[in-house]
Structure 1
Amino acid sequence: MTAIEFRLEGDLDAASFPDWICHRARLLDLSGWVTNEADGAVSIVVTGPEALIDAMEMACSLGPREVLVDRIERRPHGVPAALNGFHKR
């Protein structure tokens, strides 16, 4: 089990983006959460198999057509205890 934190930057103002992220993560059977940051960025913590986390990063880079992801920072994150499912924070 791997845990990664992504920080997405760009034109991410679409209100539906966090829901879109949750839906994609659930399709990939990943656990974690998504948070809108005060500076307009979006932070995502995902746990699961590395290949599926890579697929999530690719999905986020393409995003829905309402957003434009300019940059993704990726860094390791400690695996949260008792994490179940994917949700918005």
Structure 2
Amino acid sequence: MTAVQVRVTGRVQGVAFRWQAQHEALRLGVTGWVRNEPDGSVVAHVEGETPAVDLMVAWLRKGPPGSIVRDCAVREAAPAGSTRFEITG
């Protein structure tokens, strides 16, 4: 089990980023959450098997159509035992 926290900056709010991230997480079989931050960034906690987490991070680095990802900071995190991937804010 691998877990990471990812902060994505750029044009990432108002472009369905969280909804698309949730859809991608479900497709990849990872769990965790994604939320908008007051500073305009999006933060995600992603956990699961390492290859699936890596694919989700790669998706977050690119984002959905309409987004412009300027930076994607990834750091290791403790697994929280999530059972699904939720939009939390």
TM norm. shorter chain > 0.5: yes
Are the counterparts in 1 of residues 15 and 67 from structure 2 also a CA contact under 8 Å?
no
Task: Give the conservation status (yes or no) of the 8 Å contact 2:13–2:42.
Answer: no
Q: Normalising by structure 2, report the TM-score.
A: 0.92
| Alpha-carbon distance between aligned partners in 1 of 2:11 and 2:51, rounded to the nearest angstrom | 27
**Alpha-carbon distance between aligned partners in 2 of 1:15 and 1:58, rounded to the nearest angstrom:** 18
Q: How big is the shift at 1:14?
A: 2.5
Instruction: Give aligned-pair identity as a percent.
Output: 30
Q: Which residue of 1 aligns with 2:25?
A: 25
* Helix, strand or coil at the partner of 1:24: helix
Distance (whole Å) between structure 2 residues aligned to residue 35 and residue 10 of structure 1 = 15
TM-score normalised by L of structure 1: 0.92
Q: Look up the match of 2:41.
A: 41
Any unmatched runs of 5+ in structure 1? none
In 1, distance between residues paired with 2:9 and 2:86? 20
Structure 1 residue 84: Cα displacement: 0.9
Partner of 2:53: 53
Unaligned runs of 5+ in 2: none
Q: Structure 1 stretches (4+) deviating beyond 4 angstroms?
A: none
